[in-house]
Amino acid sequence: MLKEHSNLADILDFEFSDDNVTEINKLQEKGDVKVTTIINSEKKVSLKDQFVMAFTSNLRALAELNISQNELKVITYILEVMEYGNLISINQTAIAKELGLHKSNVSYVFKKLVAKNILIKENGHTFMNSNLFAKGLNHRLSEEKRSNLRKAQKSDDKFKDTF
C-alpha cells in the first residue's frame, strides 16, 4: 500500500484504489491509522576518490604527440599525486622508485614532457599543464590553488586555452 512519489504534483493528485479506501476506513474505525509523510531532498552524489578533469580537445592533441610508454606512466602517476591546482610536489627519484624506472629515465621523460608543454616549469615549480588536466573544481579551490592552475596553463599550436 506504500507508494513513493517523485514530484509534488503526483502527491497532490494522489488517489487511493477502492480496496485501499475500504482498508483505510476499517483501520480508522479501529483507530489504528497513522499517516506519515516523509519528504526528502535528493541526495548529492559525492566522489569517494580523487579525480582530475581532462579537456577532450587537448587530450586528442596529446594522443597525437606519440607519447612513449614511460611518458604515459609518468603522466598517470603525476595525475595521481599532484596537488589540487596541478602543482607537482614529488621529486623524480621518488617517481622512479614508485614506477620501477631508473632515475635517469625519469629525468629524460621529464625533459621530453617539458619540451612537449605537458609539464610546465614556472618560478622553480613544476606543474601539469592545466590545459590538459585540472585537479580540483575551480570554485572549491583556495585562491593560491586557483593561481597555480593559471600558472600551469600553457597554450601553443597543439594545446588551446581551456578556461
Give the angle subtended at the CA of 151 by the CAs of 149 and 155, to the nearest 5°.
Answer: 95
Residue 86, pLDDT > 70, answer yes
Q: What are phi and psi of 113, to 5 degrees?
A: -70, -35
Residue-averaged pLDDT of the chain: 87
Distance of alpha carbon 154 from alpha carbon 118, whole angstroms? 9
| Model confidence pLDDT, tens digit, residues 96-145 | 999 999 999 999 999 999 999 999 999 999 999 999 999 988 778 899 99
What domains, with CATH codes, occur in the chain?
A: 52-151 (1.10.10.10)
Residue 24, pLDDT > 80, answer no
Tell if the pTM clears 0.85, that is, is over it: no
C-alpha cell at 118: 605537458
Distance of alpha carbon 146 from alpha carbon 25, whole angstroms? 63
Sign for the pseudo-dihedral over CA of 109, 113, 116, 120: negative
